[in-house]
Amino acid sequence: MSKEFTLKYPITHDGKIYNSVFLNRMTGKVFMKLQRDLQAINQIPESEVEKREEESESTQFKLYAAIAGVPLAVMEMMDADDFIELAETAADFLPQKFLEQVQEAAMEKVKSDTSSSVPEISEKDPKTSGETEPTGDSGQGSQE
């Protein structure tokens, strides 16, 4: 399976003009290399946020460069609009299991980011109006 992806903003690298790239399914060799890269990123302590992010970005560029069959520098030089569209299109060329792992990792990151950055407000928080949610009980007991 192969698909031509036309760049809206062509790139020149090493004397070659890239007006388009051809997306192809990932090979086993590339998949294993990316798996090793992802495992290495997971070994970086969470306290080293910048290093983790840099390595993650680098791995993403490697992934798309491999699928497009172009040098890494071409991906890094690509216009952001072209890159975003290419990344969306390239999803069809990724192994399903790999996509599931990436999505699962992204969801875990969102959960951890959300849980650590969203303050909890208790019912007795002085910042609230003092009112609590109605429980459906008017406090008068049942009248039969």
Q: What is the pTM of this model?
A: 0.64
- Residue 2 forms beta bridges with which residues? 24
Q: What is the pLDDT of residues 12-43, one digit of tens each?
A: 999 999 999 999 998 888 888 888 888 888 88
pLDDT for the residue numbered 96: 82
Residue 40 CB partners (closer than 8 Å, separation 6+): 55
- Contact between residue 38 and residue 111 where contact means Cβ atoms under 8 Å apart: no
What CA–CA distance (Å, rounded) separates 6 from 77? Answer: 15
Q: Give pLDDT tens digits for 47-95.
A: 888 888 888 788 888 889 999 999 999 999 999 999 999 999 988 888 8
Q: How many residues make up the chain in this entry?
A: 144
